[in-house]
Amino acid sequence: MITYHIGPWFIVAYQFWLIVAVLCVIIEIMPPPTHFFFLCLAFGALASALAAFFTSLAWLPWAVFPVVAVGLTPLLIPLAKFLFTPKPHASNVDAMLGQRALVVEPVEPKRPGVVKILGESWRAVSEKDRFEKDQWVHISRVEGASVVIVSLPDGR
């Protein structure tokens, strides 16, 4: 077995590499996120621990560590960026675009009315159509504090 002399202690090589792997995982867990970089190093140290456990060649764990760490980096870092990059999604007013709404007060081209969208009442205007109470409409856009409504695309 390979042993390392660290200060007043002697440590078996595979134990040294296991300690390095645990330290790298701890660093990876702590903020700010390192996007799996230290996880790559931890896997390299784990592979080095296995190499040190099964061989008596002193140089082999030191050669395995960079090969595994560098080999995993192009695989794990893009995976981390994919997993941790926020996905854009519509919110607030943008989430209403394309929604169906129920007419609460009649809407005419020159006279605004009220529609209910996802449980909220909104002032509604129409450019050319007339809509009666309890009719379903489609939200085409938002202008200020009003929504512009049109007939449902499928005609229902």
Q: Which of residues 60, 84, 108 is at a domain's end?
A: 84
Measured distance CA(147)–CA(61) in Å, rounded: 66
Mean of all residue pLDDT scores within the chain = 88
Phi, psi of 31 (to 5 degrees): -75, 160
Percent of the chain with pLDDT over 90: 56
pLDDT at 1 over 90: no
Given a contact cutoff of 8 angstroms between Cβ atoms, the answer to whether 61 and 49 are in contact is yes
pLDDT computed for residue 67 by the predictor? 97
Side-chain half-sphere CA neighbours of 99 within 13 A: 21
pLDDT band for position 59 (50/70/90)?
very high
Most confident of 6-10, 33-37, 113-117: 113-117
CA distance 109 to 149: 10
Domain of 112, CATH number, reads 2.40.50.140
- Give the domain extent around 37: 3-84
User: How many structural domains are present in the chain?
Assistant: 2
- Please tell me whether residues 113 and 77 are part of one structural domain: no
Same domain, 128 and 67: no
Q: What is the pLDDT of residues 9-45, one digit of tens each?
A: 778 889 999 999 999 999 999 988 777 889 999 999 9
pLDDT band at 96 (very low <50, low <70, confident <90, very high): confident
Is 104 strand, coil or helix?
strand
| Same domain as 101, residue 147 | yes
How does pLDDT run across 135-146, given as a tens digit for each residue?
Answer: 999 999 998 889
Give the end of a domain, one of 64, 84, 104. Answer: 84
Q: Is the model's pLDDT at 150 over the cut of 60?
A: yes
Same domain, 72 and 125: no
Cα-based distances in Å from 129 to 1, 109, 111:
86, 6, 11
